[in-house]
Structure 1
């Protein structure tokens, strides 16, 4: 519920007007939000993906409602990827392991590679992002690793570029989507090119 409210608030259209042919992304006052309905006009597609839900705990706040209920509150969100109407993953005595969260995160990233879109916004929870991103970039430059491991603030936006290194003819890596410290000078490319040209002219 929280992530869908955030997603439509950030990426949705303006206020919804009755009589418009497109259904609203969110109906008026969804889950006591006090918000006006949000339009789906001129918006990107919204897909609900259960793989990126928060780490499961015994807290009832980690249990989702039924897809049937969500569809009434968020008519323009696509819930077709949800396999079950009710939440079959949450349980009053289920505490998900960090390894399980990471596996879900890796499955989500694998699924992202199958998408045709070049820019995708993932609206999810801090715990899920923290555990997932800690798995990636283990061979990256330390500054990249430090950035990946920062805990997300509430409603924080970050941009990432995913690169399939196998398409670049690079060496294979033991980690998914791993970057490596580039060879050569650690400076902007135009400065590095100039430096290399100067060094070559001295020889």
Structure 2
């Protein structure tokens, strides 16, 4: 008898959870977070990153609304990028400016820009030679990203920022270099992609190693 009652209780509980999940409550909460995040974005981010997030703001903000970028970062990455900012750039830290809830709502809003999940694969081995990577960097990256990854306004992001290097892993650096970001100056570099640069996987691993070495400079 007890087993029957326990089984019935479990079935009822599952039914309640299922009904709640399909009742629109979760969807409603997400919609509220998106709306709240949009307000945070309009107040704090729009001037630099633009109304659509494609870097068309009056000030020097990078394009963050593109599928390559959004497919290579997690919600936690986005959260960290905003919270801690980028030293050496016009991107300030919002750690003391925005509450944890504001930051999470902003991330929810930004994630809404993602319309597809691209399968961006990195090389099986990202181990590279930073010295060779430096030479490759000078040939293919310096014109936009500047000497030692210092960046150039409206051309290339700052790669030597301590926060960028702390909160961006080698795989993400490799993918960003290999596939670029659509609708930006950053075209693909990996051989076989439709880009002016046709670099091998090892070339990109070497460049990644060089960018990582900037952490020590």
TM-score, normalized by length of structure 1? 0.26
TM-score, normalized by length of structure 2? 0.25
* Structure possessing the higher relative contact order (Cα contacts under 8 Å, 6 or more residues apart): 2
